Structure 1
Amino acid sequence: MLTFLATIGAVFLGFLAATGRLVAFAGLTLATAFSPPIYPRVILREMVNIGYFSLPVVGLTAIFTGMVLALQSYTGFSRFAAEGAVATVVVLSVTRELGPVITGLMVAGRV
């Protein structure tokens, strides 16, 4: 019985040691990430390259996605004579759901 408890204790102490090393690594990473060699011009240039120059690609993708969504919604809503709700559904679904996902995919694909 004592060896069983010793084994459990050793495993638990090993887990605590690994957790401590992970926390120390995370702290060192955060401390190093905000240390003095920060280059604001490089950061600003990359923000412009990644963000601003991705706007045409993201915009075209959003327009075409909205057109496809409107076409598909219209065919479904026309069965119930609810064509007037197509614009609302497209705007809400693209803005809330698809917009952030498509933007993230396009920016990540461009980088």
Structure 2
Amino acid sequence: MTFLRIPGRAALNLLQQFGLLAMFTGQAIYWSFRRPWYGRQLFRQIVDIGYFSLPVVGLTTLFSGMVIALQSYTGTSRFSAEGESSVATVVVLIVTRELGPVLAGLMVAGRIGASMAAEIGTMRVT
């Protein structure tokens, strides 16, 4: 019966982790609907994180798309005469599927992390 001990422990540990996750989710939902509501601060954070990050993400994606277009054109023009017609499709697929979400996540995380660190750095301890 000792051969059942290790898988049994792993199964119990997994069930315990699921239970803790369920408790955390329940508490998060419970405390989300209790007063006081901080609607004004929540809206300010949504605007700061989402809306004001759009120019940074847009410029990063724009320049990355231009570099990908240039590299795709030079690469495909060497091997086929239809290099120009496939560049747009390749750029759209690469930027929207692969590179865009990664760059957006990195840019938003970097911008917001620096912004929050600067905001915390300007606070005074009373």
- Taking CA–CA contacts closer than 8 Å with sequence separation of 6 or more, which of the two structures ends up with the larger relative contact order? 1
Report the TM-score, using the length of structure 1 for normalisation.
0.75
Offset of residue 109 of structure 1:
1.0
Offset of residue 68 of structure 1:
0.8
1:39 aligns with 2:38: yes
Aligned to 1:96: 97
Matches within 5 A, 1:12-27: 15=13, 18-19=16-17, 22=20, 23-27=22-26
Amino acid at match of 1:47: I
Of the two, which has the highest radius of gyration? Answer: 1
Report the TM-score, using the length of structure 2 for normalisation.
0.67
Offset of residue 31 of structure 1:
1.8
Aligned to 1:60: 59
Q: 5+ residue gaps in structure 1?
A: none
Aligned length: 107
Q: 5+ residue gaps in structure 2?
A: 113-126
Offset of residue 91 of structure 1:
2.0
Backbone CA RMSD of aligned residues: 2.9
